[in-house]
Amino acid sequence: MSVGGSISEVSIGGRIFAVAADSDSNRDIGGYMAEVEPNGNGTARKILTRKPWVIDGLNLEVDDDRGDIEFLQAIADGPDFVPCIISYVSGISYTGQGSVTNEIQASSQSATVPVTLKGPNELVPQK
């Protein structure tokens, strides 16, 4: 049985963020993008190009008292990838090293910020 639904929380660089329940995120676990290139004799070559993992569509709750906006901006500004854990309502979590890659613009009305996370290699499922 497949279980969809909300992401329960996201940990970025050790800080836990609640995710708005109506966020509909997209997950690409990374790995390779495959292309098939034809040859003149009817055969083909398979070309594998490395791609990062990506999760977008996250709307994270942010708290000014905790300095969440400044924290997320520091992750985006920093030279290193940080541990990221994305926990789904189904009970599965995905882990990887990554960074915030979008412009950080928080909504004062909803106290959320849209976030895209990207990183090298692949997201690894943990049960």
Instruction: Provide the residue-wise pLDDT of the chain in tens; the chain has 127 residues.
Output: 788 888 999 999 999 999 999 999 999 999 999 999 999 999 999 999 999 999 999 999 999 999 999 999 999 999 999 999 999 998 999 999 999 999 999 999 999 999 999 999 999 999 8
Q: List the structure tokens of 116.
A: 């895209």
The verdict on residue 15 lying in a domain is yes
The verdict on residue 2 lying in a domain is no
Q: What is the domain count for the chain?
A: 1
Q: How far apart are CA 70 and CA 113, in angstroms?
A: 12
CATH for 87: 2.40.30
Please answer whether residues 119 and 99 qualify as being in contact, where contact means their C-beta atoms are separated by less than 8 angstroms: yes
* Amino acid at site 122: E
The verdict on residue 1 lying in a domain is no
Please indicate, yes or no, whether the overall pTM of this predicted structure exceeds 0.75: yes
- Domain residue limits at 76: 7-126
